[in-house]
Structure 1
């Protein structure tokens, strides 16, 4: 038996999920695709023999779809997730879960009413072998008590995070999820600044404080020009641990000694996406979901909202969360 997956949104992310499932996830197959651009939907669906449907609602309600992947624009996520929950279908929603913290908490409430977890948020770094190994150096005590974390997240260019707030809610939100997961800690405060005064404030630098006393410096630069670059260093009382470079081969050509820098985030995290989708599909077939939850999505949105407020105020802003429902204990 294979999981029949419907994909909403067939742009870069959705199309890559469709290819990954067809090539690397034997427990699933894509059965239906919807995109507001019918040609885009056909281009993604045709190679895998999936049907193209005329609306997201038709896809969610289809009897030929067991589970749904949402890879449509951010503003559509919360409503589509709620429709999947109402239909009783497992759903993997790309980040962010919602545009605002209140909207995200509305999804939490809708899932709690249903009484079981059906939603996973696409924070794929939790599945990346490098980040998993980095987390292990913390949990096994290799680096001792963590004091500082330095995180860097750069894109060559971005067509999605194009305004000050969107850089935080659409790009930095990865760091805002990764840090609590990596440290098994809660973010209590955030200050976001930028050296750019006029126009799009890119790059941005966040100083983050956790309940356990760790300080984090997180740089996000979505138009860095040279490529896609994600780094993370954990500084502890006994030593440090850093993500290792992804490239296995270094070259010396035309007077240059080094390794290439990718400009494609999908290629950079190909293993993470493959493991994420495989795990999600296997769990969905078993009727279980253990990945990043609706609560995790809400937390990231709440921290992002405080970060947006900080960028405007110039001050450290507190992160205040609602009470966590027992469903996510």
Structure 2
């Protein structure tokens, strides 16, 4: 257990807090070690699944298409997001001591905001790709080229990093007085803003003026793309044709649904008196979505299954030779 007065004894330099205390599961004394081991297993499984997809996408010539280029970037994000929190907290919770340096906390804020915002726009780009593939199949090769994919993905990564950097720089001006305990598994932007005892007007202004409008744009692109996709699928008279068209976007649609639902419950949920509820939602958002994404694509995608079989056959040949 973390001493209750630990936060009050945090060393301060020039009026600024030097470290924060992540609550994690440290207050659940009897479940701390089992949960920490569970988090570590989930993290390693997530790494294995997403790295396998990255390996297949980069090594199999049949997967050198725009859709799998986007999927490779999604796997990078699903590997990076839990690496910010799960790997650190698994070992920290295991020992029961989870102080986080101020600089480390800011780094977590920057990288998590960067990766989360990038995933918003990447899913929107992937939705547009599925829209062109299903609604405009004859124009797909002219409208969606590898060069355009690289430009779109690069723009998404650069814009998201700039937005996250603005938030991180604005967070530097915040002052933290008495409370330095974060009721979560890693440092999040909203939690730091709520903990601050200084003026947070600029931080909220940046969220409402820049963050929310662009998030709504990404959501609108995703939503409208699937509206047109469903309209096109419903016009197909042959049952086999409808199933084939839907199968090309079902995996992505499932991932989009999971991402938006968990994001909604993580950030839009009312403040619960029991902090455990908020932490359970955070686990679902941070831990399980990156774990489920490779599972969804692997189970529902015949091309990935074929690439895996070819990789296994090739590996057996190498071993036997």
Q: Does TM, normalized by the shorter one, top 0.5?
A: no
- The structure number with the bigger radius of gyration is 2
Identify the structure with bigger relative contact order (alpha carbons < 8 Å, sequence gap 6+): 2
- TM-score category (smaller protein): under 0.3
Structure with more strand by fraction? 1
Structure with more helix by fraction? 2
TM-score of the pair, normalised by structure 1 = 0.24
TM-score of the pair, normalised by structure 2 = 0.25
